[in-house]
Amino acid sequence: MARYAMVTDLTKCVGCQACTAACNSEWDVPPGRTRTRVLPTGAVGVFPNLRSAFYVAQCNHCDDPPCVAPCPSGATFQAADGIVKIDKDLCIGCGFCVTACPYDARYLNPATEKVDKCDFCAGRLQRGLQPACVTTCTAHAKFFGDLEDPDSEVYGLVYGRGAKRIESEEVKVGPNVYYLGAKGEPDLVAETFPPRTPRMPSAGQWWERALKPLALLMVGTAFLGQAVAFFTQLRKGEGQFND
Amino acid sequence: MSSIFPLNLSVTVFIQVSILLGFVFGFFLERAGFSSAIRLKGQFYFRDWSVLKVLFGAIVVAMLGLGWLSVAGVLDMRSVYIPEMFLWPQLAGGLLLGAGFILGGYCPGTSVVAAATGKLDGLFFLLGIFAGIFVFGAIEPAIHNFNESGARGALTLPQVFGTTTGVVAFAVTAVAVGAFVVAGRSEGARRLFEKTYGRTK
Amino acid sequence: MTNPVASPQVSSQRMIKKHHVAIMLLHWFNALVWLLELNTGAALIQSEHFRFAPQWFIVLMTGIFGTRANLLRFHIAVGLAWITVFLVYGIFGWRTYLHQEVLEGEVALDRDDWNWLHIRVLRILGRSDEPLPPQGIYNAGQKLFALAVYAMVPLIAASGLVMAFHWGSPAVAGWAVVIHFISVAVVVSGLKIHVYMGPVFPEEKPAFFSMITGVVPEEFAYRHHRKWWEEVKMLEKMHEAGELERQEPARSSGFVKALRMKQYWPPYGAALGLGLTLLAAFLLVGQGIGASGGFTCCLAFVISLAAPDYASSHPYRSRYVQPDAPVLMDLLVFELIGVALGGLVSGWLAGRLRWSTDKGPHLSERTRWALAFAGGALSGAGARLARGCTSGLALSGGAALSAGAFVFMLSVFAAGFAGAYLVRRLWL
């Protein structure tokens, strides 16, 4: 099976947002929301040692995606090729996965009332095409391919030229979008836009801390009571009524 | 101008609508007394004409409704499903179903309503339907050629008679009204007979 | 120990009526819904934070329905049917089943009930031989379960609707998930006891059978539901003494009268109703209403599960058996469910619900059942051959002026009238 990855060469990116526009039109993204977007870090440092970079943000299709477990209906899942997908038929729009994503890659589509995000253009991949943002990138800064294929472009960029993941000390979930830079651009991006700790909305926290134990306790007690009654019945033989 | 109907429904709504339609359909079937084999079989002994009245009455109401709505441009008749014609299998199937009707007292739809109101014979009829379908599936390969014979596609009466829908609809309505008159007379005569000579079994 | 000597006027043979047929049907409908919903629901909850069903179960259920999306659709559809039925029950049964006296007498717990619960538990644990305090028509355990169910069912229904139709903000949907799960957990913990007490626990077996037959032996009522037994006895005495007057039926509107009418509707009224329903079907879903197709789908579903090789061994049989399109997800199947529910509700409102057999005067019930089965088999095969039955082909096709429908109608009536003469001994 494949393990898909994206590499963005930050030395080439000019921040033109062509990828954002291509993605929005490819996937009917509503105004004000994005599946991928370009964020400038701005000038960092003291003149004349200024540095800057563009952060091309999108879903990282993490090895260990924190958004999958909180999804109550199982709509969010990781496919065998590593792509984290959303089964729109199952999504109930609770938004648990939105707060869980350390990269804020997910949004609730107000039109469909379901969650949406980058899926590496899975529909295009099936037709043998590259993701829309890759084909449209004006600077040819984006590369897409299979990390399990040693002959692929991305394999060379990640294992040969050392493209980096955007991670922090606290959050290491194995993102599969890599960034390449000549003068420490990936580190600058990681400092400016560090992944945040996954959060659970209060309803989910209540379930996790109080209600789930309570539910298990109730059902367990009932089961126990029933078992005791059954064994008493076995011991005492058939009932007092029918004798 | 494109027509509004039939609606293009999402799957979930489609399911709800079909349950609701079935519900109302079953409700009216039960109200008409079609949950009783005694009442249904009365038709074939000329004692109770409600099968004919209800069947043709409903056909006429729905047919005229369809006709007017499509003339008004609200309904697109091209997207309404019209059952395909297979002349010989439909003749034979009708004979089988008619025989099953008089032997078992129900047809598939009415047996469901009968079983739902606690009629045990309806329940057995219902089980019989499953058996019949299963057996038919098993022997279909042997009679496959017959089962596909006389195929005419989605043929309609106006096409058969080479005339307009309006004329056929008028004719069907006229025949139905004629049948209602006959039914009324027959029931009237029967009441008179019973009044004079006492109730027959 | 309960007193082994029954009091003189208590018979173990005589039966007392406990449940109305409508309540029994509702009970088993409810049981079926819970069976389906718990199983599909458990299989739907897949993620680590929420899941409790084992992986093999989830795989099995998903396999039966083809895809998880279908599983969810089925779960929602059954849930909606359940909500509809209970709304109808709530609206029409309000006066009979849900007014204050009934709730106080049959659901609220009094001091005896609390004592009963205490002693019942001790007795099951083998720690007490104290006699149980007298109980009303439902014992304290049943009442407690009823209270839990009454409280939880609206929560389950409302949270389910929120999730299915995306009502409210994401926060609302998130809470709906949690509320749905916890309220189901409350019912399930009671349900386990309920299911155990019914068919398994020896002392309550008559109560279980009363949900099938509607009656309990008088002795059982005397020993287990003494207060109710006393009420029944008192009513019987008053009845014998002529003290009970027949209650005047409440005045009601023409619409309610038509719904509650005891006689069958005049044929033309029913025809108008059916015709308009048919028209609505054409408008909403683009086709009429059928019955026999639904049977085929159900049967094909069972065969495709039980004997997939047989189902795919011939093109005719495999038509309904495609791996990606589970056959139960068909319009016709849902219509069939609707038809049954509609018949049930109509019969209930008109007071026509009872176990009975329609037959000619010279026929035994068993013969009648065998003939009904044979007739059903003939119609089943006939409907397959004709591609529809009286509803799907004659009625729906007839309204669309299908030529095949009229051919079919002619031959049904021909066979019916000819056959009627041949089998007149069965009916007259």
Interface predicted TM-score of the whole assembly (ipTM), two decimals: 0.92
State the nearest Cα–Cα gap between C134 and chain A, in angstroms: 16
Q: What is the pLDDT of residue C254?
A: 58
Structural domain contains residue B147: yes
Residue C305 Cα, gap to closest chain B Cα (Å): 14
pLDDT of residue B201: 45
Whether pLDDT at C168 is above 90: no
Please say if the pLDDT value at position C148 is more than 60: yes
* Nearest CA-CA distance, residue C199 and chain B, Å: 23
Give the end-to-end CA distance of chain B in Å, rounded to a whole number: 60
DSSP state of C204: G
Most confident of A203-212, B124-133, C294-303: B124-133
Give B79's DSSP letter: G
**What value does the mean pLDDT of chain C take?**
81
pLDDT at C28: 87
Residues in chain A with CB shorter than 8 Å from the CB of C46 are 73-74, 77
| Facing residue for B19 by CB, picked from C276, C337, C406 | C337
In the block, residue with structure tokens 């990606």: C324
Q: What is the pLDDT of residue B68?
A: 83
Q: What is the average pLDDT score of chain A?
A: 88
How far apart CA C364 and CA B87 sit, in angstroms, is 39
- Do the chains contact at A222 and C193, CB–CB below 8 Å? yes
Residue B181 counted as domain residue: yes
Domain that holds residue B100: 11-197
- Quickly count: other Cβ atoms within 10 Å of residue A3's Cβ: 17
Instruction: Name the residue in chain C with its Cα closest to that of A243.
Output: C4
At C1 the pLDDT is: 39
Maximum CA pair distance of chain A? 100
Q: Residues 6 or more apart from A197 whose CB is under 8 A from it?
A: A102, A170, A171
Select the residue from B70, B106, B112, B139 to test the C interface by mutation, using most C Cβ atoms within 10 A.
B112
Q: Which one of C196, C208, C329 makes the best mutation probe of the A interface by having the most chain A beta carbons within 10 Å?
A: C196
Mutate to test the interface with A, among C47, C161, C192 (most CBs of A within 10 A): C47
Whether the CB-CB separation of C404 and C397 falls below 8 Å is answered with: yes
pLDDT above 90 coverage of chain B, percent: 33
Chain A contact partners (≥3 CB pairs within 8 A) = C
Comparing A190 with C206, the larger pLDDT belongs to A190
Q: Tell me the nearest-neighbour CA distance from C306 into chain B, angstroms.
A: 13
Is B126 within a domain?
yes
CA A91/CA B187 separation, integer angstroms? 60
* C186:A203 CB<8 A: no
Name the more confident of C327 and B61: B61
Strand A84-86 versus strand A76-78 pairing type:
antiparallel
Asked if A210 is an interface residue toward chain C (Cβ–Cβ < 8 A), one would say no
Asked whether the predicted pLDDT for residue B96 surpasses 90, the reply is: yes
Asked if the Cβ–Cβ distance from B7 to C283 is below 8 Å, we say yes
pLDDT at C249 over 70: no
Binding-face residues of A in 69-98 toward C, CB within 8 A: 69-74, 76-77, 87, 89-90, 92-96, 98
Per-residue pLDDT tens for C12-69?
677 777 777 777 888 888 999 999 999 999 998 888 788 888 888 888 888 778 788 8
- Within a domain: B172: yes
Which chain C residues have a beta carbon less than 8 Å from that of A96?
Answer: 174, 177
Q: pLDDT at position C2, please?
A: 45
On chain C, the residues whose CB falls within 8 A of the CB of B101 are: 375, 379, 390, 412, 415-416, 419
* C255 has a pLDDT exceeding 70: no
Is the pLDDT at C3 greater than 70, yes or no?
A: no
With contact defined as beta carbons under 8 Å apart, do A100 and A200 qualify?
Answer: yes
Q: Is the pLDDT of residue A111 over 90?
A: no
Flag whether residue A206 sits within 8 Å of chain C, measured between CB atoms.
Answer: yes
Q: What is the mean pLDDT of chain B?
A: 86
Q: Where do the domains of chain C lie, and which CATH numbers do they carry?
A: 15-240 (1.20.950.20), 253-354 (no CATH), 357-428 (no CATH)
HEC string of A129-188 equals CCCHHHHHCCCCCEEEEECCCCCCHHHHHHHHCCCEECCCCCCCCCCCEEEECCCCHHHH
Query: What does the alpha-carbon distance between residue C368 and residue C366 come to, in Å, rounded to a whole number?
Result: 5
> Stretch B78-103: mean pLDDT, rounded?
90
**Local confidence band at C204 (pLDDT 50, 70, 90 cut-offs):** confident
Between strands B85-86 and B151-153, the pairing is antiparallel
Q: Please tell me the predicted confidence (pLDDT) of residue C253.
A: 52
What is the mean predicted confidence (pLDDT) over A147-172? 90
DSSP C81-125: HHHHHHHHHHHHSHHHHSSHHHHHHHTS--HHHHHHHHHHHHHHT
- Whether the pLDDT of residue A83 is over 90: the answer is yes
B78: confidence class by pLDDT, cuts 50, 70, 90? confident
Tokens of A84: 């984290």
Nearest to C284 among B17, B39, B45 (CB): B17
The answer to whether the CB of A180 falls within 8 A of the CB of A9 is yes
Residue B179 lies in a domain: yes
| Residues of chain B contacting residue C391, judged by C-beta atoms under 8 Å apart | 25, 107-109
* In chain B, % of residues over pLDDT 70: 92
Checking if the pLDDT of C363 tops 60, the result is yes
- How much is the pLDDT for C390? 86
Confidence of residue C375 (pLDDT cuts 50, 70, 90): very high
What is the per-residue pLDDT for C248?
Answer: 44
Query: Which of these ranges, B114-128, B134-148, C150-164, has the smallest mean pLDDT?
Result: B134-148
Residue B115 lies inside a defined structural domain of this protein: yes
